[in-house]
């Protein structure tokens, strides 16, 4: 696999806070996700990869060009990346079309070309009929599409998306990803997510981050098979008392909700059913990246969409 994105020993320190701590990985022509809870360092990491935030130490290379190198190297590396941040870089009182024209102009396009490219991008992301609307009047999913369109202005080789599905309902999430998949053929897509289901569905590979460090990297299904091969039983308990159950291995708990790995599913569920008065609800789930996160970090991660 050719390294399109090369990250080596990347760190960022704010005063006494080490937000990103010696992160290393490579990305080829693939969909690569950085998954972790809020505060794990994902946004800081992709800001450095995209050339927005200078690292405290470490190297970022895009197709061999140093993102933080001298002169021409830096310019070339940045020309290869399109960045869609979580916070929309848009004027909300201005139309979708005018926002894109402005983005085209600051990327060096002439006015005629900027207008043409803006119309083209709005059609590509499914916003052609909404071009004249101010951003205030667009739905959350439409705003995310517009941000992605702005990242595509320079026809980048690498598309970096920070939390593209954040705050979207399942229907809007599917609609957004259908657009991303259509527009990203032949490109490298690197995206962050705090939603394990989003990372699992749309990644060729995923790196799981926790407290600024990489916990594990691999293909989603391979990680699930390696770390959580058994069904997961989520139990709502009547109190926050710890309950040990034969046939189950306690993965963790958050308040009154406990997660057990069902080493022996029938025995585990039957023993939980026998705990009358202690157990209010039992739900057996197929394990996913949320459970992998718990196994490799020891922390509980809320799984959206379940």
**pLDDT-based confidence at 198, cuts 50/70/90?**
very high
Per-residue pLDDT at 19 exceeds 90: yes
**Could you give the 3-state DSSP secondary structure of residue 202?**
helix
Distance CA 72, CA 67 (A): 10
- Residue 163 has what pLDDT? 94
Is residue 42 predicted with pLDDT exceeding 90?
A: yes
**pLDDT score, position 306:** 43
**Per-residue pLDDT, 24:** 97
Looking at every residue in the chain, the average pLDDT score rounds to 90
Alpha-carbon gap, residue 83 to 87, rounded angstroms: 11
Residues in the chain: 306
Q: Which of 106-110, 196-200, 232-236 has the highest mean pLDDT?
A: 196-200
Instruction: Give 243-288 pLDDT, tens digit per residue.
Output: 788 888 888 778 888 888 888 888 888 888 888 778 888 888 889 9
| Cα–Cα distance measured from residue 101 to residue 107, given in angstroms and rounded to the nearest whole number | 10
Q: Is the pLDDT of residue 235 over 90?
A: no
Average confidence (pLDDT) over 123-141: 91
Q: Are 140 and 91 in contact (CB under 8 A)?
A: no
Interval 149-173: pLDDT, tens:
999 998 999 999 999 988 888 888 9
pLDDT over threshold 80, residue 304: no
pLDDT at 1: 59
pLDDT band for position 305 (cuts 50, 70, 90): very low
The model's pLDDT over 79-122, given as tens digits with 9 standing for 90+, comes to 999 999 988 888 889 999 999 999 999 888 899 999 999 999 99
pLDDT score of 40: 92
- Between 3.30.1330.200, 3.40.50.720, 3.40.50.300, 3.30.300.30, what CATH number should domain 5-222 receive? 3.40.50.300
| Residue 52: pLDDT over 60 | yes
Residue 302 has a pLDDT of 61
pLDDT score recorded for residue 70:
83
- CA separation for the pair 268, 263 (Å, rounded): 8
Written as one string, the DSSP assignment of 204-265 is: SEEEEEETTEEEEEE-HHHHHHHH--S-EEEEEESSS-----TTEEEEEEETTEEEEEESSH
């Amino acid at each position: 696999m050719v390294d399109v994105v090369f990250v080596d020993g990347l760190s960022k320190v704010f005063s006494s806070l080490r937000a990103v701590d010696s992160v290393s990985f490579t990305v080829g022509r693939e969909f690569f996700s950085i998954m972790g809870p809020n505060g794990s360092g994902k946004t800081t990491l992709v800001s450095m990869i995209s050339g927005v935030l200078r690292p405290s130490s470490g190297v970022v290379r895009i197709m061999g060009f140093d993102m933080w190198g001298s002169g021409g190297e830096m310019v070339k590396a940045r020309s290869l990346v399109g960045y869609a941040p979580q916070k929309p870089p848009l004027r909300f009182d201005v139309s979708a079309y005018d926002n894109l024209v402005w983005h085209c102009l600051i990327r060096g396009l002439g006015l005629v070309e900027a207008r043409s490219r803006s119309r083209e991008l709005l059609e590509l992301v499914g916003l052609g009929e909404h071009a004249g609307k101010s951003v205030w009047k667009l739905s959350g999913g439409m705003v995310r599409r517009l941000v992605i369109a702005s990242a595509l202005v320079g026809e980048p080789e690498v598309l970096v998306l920070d939390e593209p599905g954040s705050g979207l309902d399942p229907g809007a999430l599917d609609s957004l990803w259908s657009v991303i998949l259509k527009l990203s053929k032949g490109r490298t897509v690197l995206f962050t997510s705090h939603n394990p289901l989003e990372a699992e569905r749309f990644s060729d590979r995923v790196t799981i981050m926790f407290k600024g460090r990489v916990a594990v990297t691999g293909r989603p299904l391979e990680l699930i098979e390696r770390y959580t091969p058994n069904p997961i039983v989520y139990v709502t308990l009547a109190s926050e008392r710890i309950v040990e159950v034969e046939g189950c291995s306690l993965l963790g708990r958050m308040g009154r909700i406990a997660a057990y790995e069902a080493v022996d599913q029938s025995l585990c569920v039957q023993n939980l059913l026998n705990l009358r008065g202690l157990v209010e609800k039992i739900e057996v789930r197929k394990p996913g990246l949320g459970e992998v996160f718990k196994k490799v970090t020891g922390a509980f991660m809320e799984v959206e969409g379940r």
